[in-house]
Amino acid sequence: MKTHTLLMPLDMHLHLRDGIMLENVAPLSAYSLSGALVMPNLVPPVSNVAEVVAYKERIMAAVPNDNFEPYMTLFYKNYDKAFLESVADEITSIKLYPAGITTNSEGGVSSFDIEEMRPTLQTMSDMEIPLCVHGETDGFVMDRETEFMSIYELLATNFPKLKIIMEHITTKAAVDMLDKFDNLYATITVHHLILTLDDVVGGMMQPHLFCKPIAKRPEDLDALLSVALEAHPKVMFGSDSAPHPQHAKESCGCAAGVFTAPIALQLLCEVFDQFGKLENLQDFVSDNAQRIYGICPEFKEVTLEERPFVVPANYSGVVPMYAGETLAWAIESID
């Protein structure tokens, strides 16, 4: 059987939630990953030193037997220099959410007034703290990411030394931005390398494929594949794996989020193998992120095998993408 080995795989955009959900889902990522960039949009959001430290401790308590590093993020506010200096050693990046645009983002940025943001962003630039951005406006749902491109331009031109990561990009417009500014980078999810909106709502509504940013058009999918499969040096894997209880997904107010954490590497192997690009998966799932963020993850060697793997119906009450379906690749061993 064909096998493929990945060294120190990383997920540079992961939701672990908190409480019982954290305890249930964190081991699923820690099992196969060397580390992950953990999102801060809890309730309340992670926005000070004590909260960062305490959240990391809760994560580590949930994965005591795994070789796994949670890279911590801070919820963006207009912080002063003294505060950023006090927290810098505890974080890997700061995550900016437009206010109210996604889960638990009500306390996010409501105005992109560059002069108001300048003290924080310039200090971040000087201290080499990356800025991760959920790049959507509150416009028509299919246009929200494209409309945000002007804000990325504003940020990139005003702070040319600030490393800016466009999170979970879904459009050709975002792909085109990568080569326009030296300081723009991006994460891409595995589900956005597979799905278009037609897969979500083209027939019967598929609640476990419903996410935000919403899956887009075939031409957007092609653009994402073009840079991911070639392991463009400015893109990296970020699952945006977003667990919700089954009742919250299979309801009349379906929660947005696709849960891919337990099957992400298997799906990535399937996608890259399908296009004859398995040799580029190492860069996409680890090496690019190490270079972009300047991190040195815990050693882990994950070998996957091309053999049928049936996705469980649920993981502790959380239904994954493709539940009950058969994938072409499975995890064979982890060292």
Q: How many CB atoms lie within 10 A of CB 35?
A: 28
> Angle, nearest 10°, between helix axes 114-127 and 149-158?
60
**Residue 251's pLDDT band (cuts 50, 70, 90):** very high
Q: What is the identity of the amino acid at 263?
A: I
- Asked if residue 234 is part of any domain, the answer here is yes
**pLDDT of 104 strictly over 90:** no
- Asked if residue 241 is part of any domain, the answer here is yes
Q: Quote the domain boundaries for residue 256.
A: 10-264+274-296
Q: What's the number of domains the chain is made of?
A: 1
pLDDT at 187: 98
**Residue 220's pLDDT band (cuts 50, 70, 90):** very high
pLDDT at 103: 82
- Asked if residue 140 is part of any domain, the answer here is yes
Query: Average model confidence (pLDDT) for the chain?
Result: 97
**pLDDT of 96 strictly over 90:** yes
- Asked if residue 52 is part of any domain, the answer here is yes
Any idea what the CATH number is for the domain that residue 284 is in?
3.20.20.140
**pLDDT of 227 strictly over 90:** yes
- Asked if residue 309 is part of any domain, the answer here is no
- Asked if residue 187 is part of any domain, the answer here is yes
Tens of pLDDT, residue by residue over 292-326, are 999 999 899 999 999 999 999 999 999 999 999 99
Q: In this structure, what DSSP letter does residue 63 have? A: -
Tens of pLDDT, residue by residue over 137-182, are 999 999 999 999 999 999 999 999 999 999 999 999 999 999 999 9
Mean pLDDT along residues 103-130: 94
Mean pLDDT along residues 105-122: 94
Sign of the CA dihedral with 35 first, then 41, 44, and 50 last: positive
Q: With CA atoms as reference, report the closest residue to 194 among 283, 102, 264, 119.
A: 264
Tens of pLDDT, residue by residue over 27-72, are 999 999 999 999 999 999 999 999 999 999 999 999 988 899 999 9
pLDDT at 262: 98
- Asked if residue 215 is part of any domain, the answer here is yes
The predicted model scores a pTM of 0.97
Structure tokens at 105: 């983002």
How far is 321 from 206, CA to CA, in rounded Å?
10
Mean pLDDT along residues 7-31: 98
- Asked if residue 327 is part of any domain, the answer here is no
pLDDT at 23: 98
**pLDDT of 101 strictly over 90:** no
Where helices occur in the chain by DSSP H, the ranges are: 19-30, 49-62, 81-87, 114-127, 144-147, 149-158, 172-177, 197-201, 218-229, 246-249, 264-274, 281-282, 288-293
Q: Name the residues annotated as catalytic.
A: 240
